[in-house]
Amino acid sequence: MTVLRNVIFRSDAFNTTESKDYFINECCFGDDVARWLIEQLRARGVHAESEPGQEDFGWYLTYRAGDTDYDFIIGSRRGDNDKHEWLGWVERSAGLFGSLIGARKRGIKPEGVEVIHAILSSSPKISDVRWFRNEDFDREENGQTTPIVA
């Protein structure tokens, strides 16, 4: 079984035009998506930090699935036909040392991505959810409709 951790989906339900004064960069959209995901995780009984954190290109939120802490990182871009696309990936929360040795990309269990997939794929706000292997993500090839491949 392979766990795909990279996702692209479409949604025009979130802010992609109004830059906020607290954005690190002018186009650092995604705070409302991250807050919405936190609400959805909590509604499913999943522990999630109350506020997202900001990256220079977007946002991240931390949650616990099973016995593992994860981060979901999200950023945005304008896609085909002017539909807005969101790019995200699941990482293990591994701390500084773990990050330096590549632990953030290893040991991701199915439940770590399945909970994000369940939220995205069941929402009427979201469309065209596609999951990718690491090597296919940048090229956007071989997208799957589910994050778990047998």
Answer for the pair 149, 130: CB distance below 8 angstroms, yes or no: no
Mean pLDDT of 49-62: 92
d(CA 40, CA 116): 9
Residue 97 has pLDDT above 70, yes or no: no
Considering only the C-alpha atoms of the chain, give the largest distance between any 2 of them, rounded to a whole number of Å: 45
What number of CA atoms fall less than 13 Å from residue 42's CA on the CB side?
A: 12
Distance of CA 91 to CAs 5, 7, 25, 109, 144, Å? 8, 12, 23, 10, 18
Q: pLDDT digits over 15-51, tens only?
A: 888 889 988 888 888 899 999 999 999 999 999 999 9
